[in-house]
Amino acid sequence: MADTKSIETPSDRRDSDKTASERDVEKEPIPGISADAIRAGEVQPEKVLKHAVDADEALKAFAQYGGQVIHIDEETNRRLLRTIDWHLMPIMCVVYGLNFLDKTTLSYASIMGLREDLNLSGQDYSWLGSLFYFGYLAWEFPTNRLLQYLPLGKYSAFNIIMWGTVLACFAAVENYAGAIAIRFFLGLFEAAVTPGFALFTSQWYTKKEQGTRTAIWFSFNGWAQIFGGLVAYGIAVGSAKHGSAIAPWKIVFLVTGLLTAAMGVIFLWAVPDNQMNCRWLNKEDRILAIERIRINQQGVGNKHWKFYQVKEALKDPLTWAFVFYSLVADIPNGGITNFFSQLIVGFGFTPEQSLLYGTPGGAVEVISLLLCGYLGDRFGHRLLISTSGLLTALLGIILIVALPLENDGGRLAGFYLTMAAATPFVALLSLISSNVAGYTKKTTVAAMYLVAYCVGNIIGPQTFRADEAPRYVSGEVTIIVCWSLCVLDIVFIWWYCRHMNRKKEAIRNAPGYVKLENQEWLDLTDRENPEFVYTL
């Protein structure tokens, strides 16, 4: 078990000759600043103490230990990791799968009578696809601030319950205006899910564990595609054979919406706000669960909004490389997510067959995400390994474009390969957990990343022109260009992180540099903290 007893503690000698500020600074040391520098007047104590006052929540948890260093042996660490995995990963996976299923329900409904019942024409359906992301876009920055300020578990659960309720209400829609309103509010409530899950991952897992865990919960997008396709197919075939009291597409919205709301209630009970109020860990394990992530140099949460961290995020080249990737990669995502059922119909299959034949694409996404996530953490090259999925997807879209229309099987195989495209997006999402420190900076970067995600997904459906069916040449060429640019962006991010690690190593090796106590819990940004190492 963890050794919390036989620990060397700081000396209790009297320091009556020091000022109160000097004694406080030594209790709450700041990286690269010594008490000698305070006495010499080289640093103002008030500025130094500001970091300690605004420190991470984890520092409060360790206050009772009076500077003790807690050592966790390997057996205890494995036990804690198993406990955390079993309590967090299943619920996060199911909820994230529903998050994707709820967005793509519109694609299933589009070939189950929704277009005709709502009298959609021209680009009406494309705008329905985009309206979800307008709601997402409008609320992304406010919801990230609320994720920081409010209890993380409870606020996330509230949003899950609300988005499920709104989705179920789609079954009552009778016209285009009502559908637009539902799609907007659906996006608004779902805006908290991805950044919230990124925060949960950084809060509970070490950097070496985050890539795999992010890939696991994100891979449930693929499981949702499999599950959703089978459910929609069953409803469509069952309704055709036996009839139904309401339109089949309305049944799809009711089933997925009510299921999501129910999972939100379970999430509220099962997922804590952080380690300190976790009901399924005892008092000692709560402290150990925080200690095991000390290596991240990030802490577990901070409710203070720090404008200097916002400015740093806006000036950081890494932030804009993330944003560029999210924008450009999600133009194809927006098109494929909303049009994949119609693409498959364009390959020569019936609407019912398209529901069934879309499911193997989900399997490709699951396999590629889990494989790249595991290998990325295993070999320490999360970024470069993730590009294999994107290159596979590029091959797939080229097959769709290059093969003749009558080659239904080859073009369908190409579609399946495009489902591997999510691997770099997930790798970068995990790097927001691993490579962005400072709680305000992390939430700011996450918000910018997902705002770009929204913009890309708004643009995406508009590149698929209804009058180009079944080829959709504009959309397909756009996808090839975007994914090619994404490959170059990933290479830049890898190079930049490697470059920054070398600079930080030089600082740590400089004469006179001293790593001081508890700097991991001072809510420092990745650029402020010389001990911070970027994950590649």
Confidence of residue 32 (pLDDT cuts 50, 70, 90): very low
Distance CA 459, CA 444 (A): 23
Is residue 472 assigned to a domain? Answer: yes
Query: 70 near 288, Cβ under 8 Å?
Result: yes
Cα-trace Rg, the chain: 25
Arithmetic mean of pLDDT, 308-325: 95
* pLDDT of 64: 61
Is residue 127 assigned to a domain? Answer: yes
- Which residue range is the domain that position 307 belongs to? 76-280+294-501
* pLDDT of 257: 93
Number of domains in the chain: 1
DSSP 375-402: HHHHHT-HHHHHHHHHHHHHHHHHHHHH
| Dihedral angle sign, alpha carbons of residues 22, 23, 24, 28 | positive
* pLDDT of 467: 73
Extract the tokens encoding 60: 């409060």
pLDDT above 50 (res 298) = yes
Residue 487 vs residue 335, higher pLDDT: 487
Confidence of residue 386 (pLDDT cuts 50, 70, 90): very high
**Orientation of helix 193-204 relative to helix 74-110, angle to 10°:** 170
Residues 6+ positions from 25 with CB-CB distance below 8 Å:
33, 35, 38, 45, 48, 49, 52
Query: 493 near 504, Cβ under 8 Å?
Result: no
Distance CA 463, CA 457 (A): 10
Arithmetic mean of pLDDT, 321-337: 89
Extract the tokens encoding 386: 């993730």
Extract the tokens encoding 5: 């007893």
Query: 60 near 36, Cβ under 8 Å?
Result: no
Query: 106 near 129, Cβ under 8 Å?
Result: yes
Extract the tokens encoding 140: 């992304």
Arithmetic mean of pLDDT, 262-268: 96
Q: What backbone phi and psi angles, to 5 degrees, belong to 33?
A: -125, 120
Is residue 55 assigned to a domain? Answer: no
* pLDDT of 336: 78
The tens digit of pLDDT for each residue in 34-87 reads 444 334 333 344 444 455 556 666 666 666 655 566 788 899 999 999 999 999
Distance CA 115, CA 342 (A): 12
* pLDDT of 404: 87
3-state SS class at 71? strand
* pLDDT of 242: 73
* pLDDT of 48: 43
Confidence of residue 132 (pLDDT cuts 50, 70, 90): confident
Is residue 49 assigned to a domain? Answer: no
Give the ranges where 28-123 is alpha helix by DSSP (H).
35-39, 45-53, 57-61, 74-110, 114-117
- Chain-centre distance for alpha carbon 2: 31
Arithmetic mean of pLDDT, 273-285: 90
pLDDT above 70 (res 218) = yes
The tens digit of pLDDT for each residue in 424-439 reads 999 999 999 889 988 8
The tens digit of pLDDT for each residue in 448-473 reads 999 999 899 888 877 877 677 777 78
Is residue 330 assigned to a domain? Answer: yes
Arithmetic mean of pLDDT, 356-363: 82
pLDDT above 60 (res 137) = yes
* pLDDT of 68: 61
Extract the tokens encoding 23: 């004694």
Is residue 102 assigned to a domain? Answer: yes
The tens digit of pLDDT for each residue in 387-406 reads 999 999 999 999 988 888 88
**How far are the Cα atoms of 276, 281, 394, 403, 439 from residue 168, in angstroms, in the given order?**
35, 35, 36, 40, 34
pLDDT above 50 (res 322) = yes
Mean residue pLDDT across the chain: 82
pTM higher than 0.75 for the full model?
yes
Residue 490 vs residue 357, higher pLDDT: 490
Is residue 106 assigned to a domain? Answer: yes
Q: What is the CATH number of the domain that holds 425?
A: 1.20.1250.20
* pLDDT of 366: 92
Distance CA 327, CA 334 (A): 10
Lowest mean pLDDT, pick from 60-74, 197-211, 236-250, 440-454: 60-74
CB burial readout 364-392, b (16+ within 10 A) else e: bbbebbbbbbebbbeeebbbbbbbbbbbb
- 416: nearest Cα among 493, 340, 495: 340
DSSP state of 173: -
- Alpha carbon dihedral 242, 248, 252, 258, in 10-degree steps, equals -80
pLDDT above 60 (res 363) = yes
Residue type, 343: L
Is residue 533 assigned to a domain? Answer: no
